[in-house]
Structure 1
């Protein structure tokens, strides 16, 4: 499927759920650039459909996984299976505002704690992760707050593989930047996991401060190559052999006196 196919299905009267199901089952090669996302929005394509298109474009759903340039690697590599659903904790690399972002812009995150499998690190601490902005609206008139929605895409593994992630975050403005109120909106009936929602006082853009943490999950099983030594197994030191006992020296006596032995 392509962007044109999605627009055709939408204009033909197919429901949002059917279009998303076709995207999920059939896959496709979608253009998710900034201009393409704008064209989709102008054509009336729903946000949930656009999110499904972005997620389908993730490396887990393509035949060739994007990786770093080829380099000479040692022969003693380990293949590590990073399983679907593995938890990854991210933090926002810098403060973002719906007033300064546009649809299609990238948002950067950093990994908080290294991800390890069987004692081997597969995703380093401070590894870079990327999300794509789906919707960005500044503060509106009549006291309406701004809105910021993004879809997480991938994180870099130790071998350069782009590991696909699954998560959608939506933030609405409504108060002074920097003030956060609690609240969770669960979208379990949709195709993406729960999405946190922060509210700010009215009329302000949606703002998320640097260092804000998010929990995301690996999207699909993926193999990572590493040349590390597994640290979960104890290292056995060679057993030390006891030194042989010294032979006692012979002593000779004659008439009660010690004399050299023959």
Structure 2
């Protein structure tokens, strides 16, 4: 870590970064680095799930042009420059029409923390160190704790079901990201809050109780009822420079996920 300056992702929520301006090429490169996924995920484009791996971002050139206040031609030329320098790879699948940018050597810019390293590497780092005995003690304590938990009984099924629902809720949230450029963000948030409402047991969400579900049609119907006409698509990466209030910590959690 000798050559690193740790920077929080919250830096990119700062008003100095968020002010409207024409980006320099360095700022554009930094924006790509901070916008790329830091973990494997999937994004819903139309009716197709697209896998986006760690170090990749799925965008349109029009979105980048609007975000950086460049022309689409300048964006294309800049990406070609990064490709020539071995900094990124780029492809545009015909089925989505979206540009997939892959950052080369992504881990050099976003190094894994010790918690994210493999158990084998962690063990190798601790061999023949003064802390080996302490590590063995921790392992022993964990083993004893597992025995106690096993003796006490099985894990609460309701808690496990609630955790699974929250995971599906996150997946549902991610599926709405590509539509942020087509509909107002406030509408997308209201749509999510309504359809992700959980039942009393916390095991199912409102949209999961529907007999039929096609996300594009549901959004179009919602927009018509709200009398909010769809806006021209401008991309799918959410940015929000406002300072909104949130009713619960969970709402802030979902808001922060939009910005990642």
Q: Which has the higher strand share?
A: 1
- Shared fold (TM-score, shorter chain, > 0.5): no
TM-score normalised over the length of structure 2: 0.21
Computing the radius of gyration over CA atoms, which structure comes out larger, 1 or 2? 1
TM-score normalised over the length of structure 1: 0.20
Q: Which has the higher helix share?
A: 2
